[in-house]
Copies of this chain bind each other. A is one copy, B any other.
Amino acid sequence: MTILIENVWLEGERKNIYVDGNRIGSLCSDGSRDGEVIDGSNMAAIPGLINTHTHSAMTLFRGFGDDMLLHEWLEEKIWPVEVKLTEEDVYWGSKLACLEMIKSGTTCFNDQYWFMKGTARAVDDMGLRAFLAEAFIDLFDEEKADESRKKTMDFVEYVESMGNDRIKAALGPHSLYTVSEESLRWFREYSDERDLLIHFHLAETEKESRDCMEKHGKYPVEYLQDIGFLCDRLIAAHCVWLSREEMEVLARYGVKVSHNPVSNMKLSVGSFFNYRDLKASGVVVSLGTDGCASNNNLDLLEEMKFAAVGQKAFSNDPTALPAKKAFKMATLGGASSLRIKAGKIEEGKLADIVLVDLKKAALTPQHNLISNLVYSANGSCVDTVICNGRILMREGRVEGEEEILENAGEVALDVVSRT
């Protein structure tokens, strides 16, 4: 199957983009018109956006608990409903998340949560690209650890048995305050053995850092280095509370960092992501939305704005994190972190392409497309989404969206009524 996107605005020029199978074929002016032809004359083409930290099924809890202290929110709201979750709930929550991501121009995401077979099925249906990890928490209990490792391995086998080239298994040890040293070591070995990405929460709060120092006499990154956990397949979300030394260590091991500005601000993690020093250390930084219980959406265009203006506000420097770099975080930064050939529209890359509608007030005038995308637009400027060479949305319409909204909406109300 081929797609021709004709006469589309691409990095300051009018181009034709040919999609051949699941790859971008060429950007030349002539070629076959045999397949699907999309008129790009009122559109700009950008790479599909990449969300490197989310818990997609948590769309079910959007708006269920906000403006609360962290422990009250977890103890009174999230944990009581999470214990009643089923794979079917997760399936519908993930379908809703996929719909929302497609609508707002995300083509690939990195997810860590429970009952992930439900998410895998949803991604299979919806056509996105995803890295999925069954969340792992052992709370330093050996029996729980054994059982949870089995679940992890079972999920990896499940994903591999799907044989879907868009869906890859990853590993999901939750964090150093919920996972034992023995399990962390096991994850590193298992990751080496199967060449799997590890999706981890790191240095989100000051408490995590302080507790680690108390327990191990070391800061989190030093502790993880000592137990041999750090590697270039590790994607660490948050990384707000890091010393310069810890940043250097992350860089040395090639650890990738996912920045989640909205979640960090909304949950008041007490500090702000030190983009400048992390970049100076040489760490690859990408962008994540976190789950809908702490954001409360999955719109990476909005997230780019929070990242860019957040850096300016917190560093007191209006030149900090310019629009182009925020855009790069959500594209090339994500692709490099997830080791996929994406994040840029060029020949040979995966055909993960988003067309934005230039006939929108927020994208007018057209002094600077990237600035408009980062600072002015939101996900609603997206018109067409192609992932892995398949069209998932045309003219803002996704097949079956009404059914997803209705079913996911009902499941969400049912889930919270169970407590």
Say whether, besides A318-B68, A319-B68, A96 and B361 are in contact (CB < 8 Å).
Answer: yes
Give the residues from 285 to 319 in chain A that come closer than 8 angstroms, CB to CB, to chain B.
Answer: 292, 295-297, 299, 302, 305-306, 308-310, 312-313, 315-319
Contacts of A369 in B (CB 8 A): 63
The verdict on A366 contacting chain B, using a C-beta distance below 8 Å, is yes
Number of interface residues of A (CB under 8 A): 73
A 255-290 to B, binary, CB cutoff 8 A, 1 in contact else 0: 000000010111110101000000000000000000
Apart from A59-B365, A69-B318, what are 12 other A-B pairs with CB-CB below 8 Å? A59-B361, A62-B364, A62-B365, A62-B371, A63-B366, A63-B369, A66-B371, A67-B318, A67-B322, A73-B318, A100-B362, A365-B409
Contact B265 A309 (CB under 8 A): yes
Tell me, in angstroms, the Cα distance from A359 to B84 when the chains sit together. Answer: 26
Q: A66-B368, A372-B63, A413-B365 are in contact. Are A309 and B359 (CB under 8 A)?
A: no
Given the complex of chains A and B, what is the CA–CA distance between A61 and B309 in angstroms? Answer: 18
Query: Which 8 pairs show the lowest CB-CB distances between chains A and B?
Result: A380-B380, A365-B412, A67-B322, A265-B313, A63-B371, A100-B361, A63-B368, A296-B375
Of B67, B99, B319, B409, the contact of A323 (CB 8 Å cutoff): B67
- The answer to whether A376 and B266 touch across the interface, beta carbons within 8 angstroms, is no
Q: Is the CB of A372 within 8 A of B62?
A: yes
Count of this chain's copies in the oligomeric assembly: 2
Contacts A361-B100, A376-B292, A378-B380 given: A366-B409 contact, CB under 8 Å?
yes
A103 within 8 A of B: yes
A213 within 8 A of B: no
**A327 → chain B, closest Cβ, in Å?**
12
- For A361, list chain B residues within 8 Å (CB): 59, 96, 99-100, 103, 401, 405
Q: Which residues of B contact A268 (CB under 8 A)?
A: 312-313, 315-318, 320
In the complex, the answer to whether B375 meets A63 with C-beta atoms within 8 Å is yes
Considering only CB atoms, which chain B residue lies closest to A66 in the complex? B371
6 contacting pairs across A/B (C-beta < 8 A): A63-B365, A67-B319, A67-B322, A306-B309, A364-B412, A365-B409
Of B62, B295, B371, B401, which is within 8 A of A367 by CB?
Answer: B62
Q: How far is the CA of A66 from the CA of B322 in the complex (A)?
A: 8
- Whether A266 lies near B365 (C-beta < 8 A) is no
A143 within 8 A of B: no
When A318-B266, A365-B408 are in contact, do A296 and B376 touch as well, CB less than 8 Å? yes
Which residues does chain B contribute within 8 Å of A270, judged by CB atoms?
316
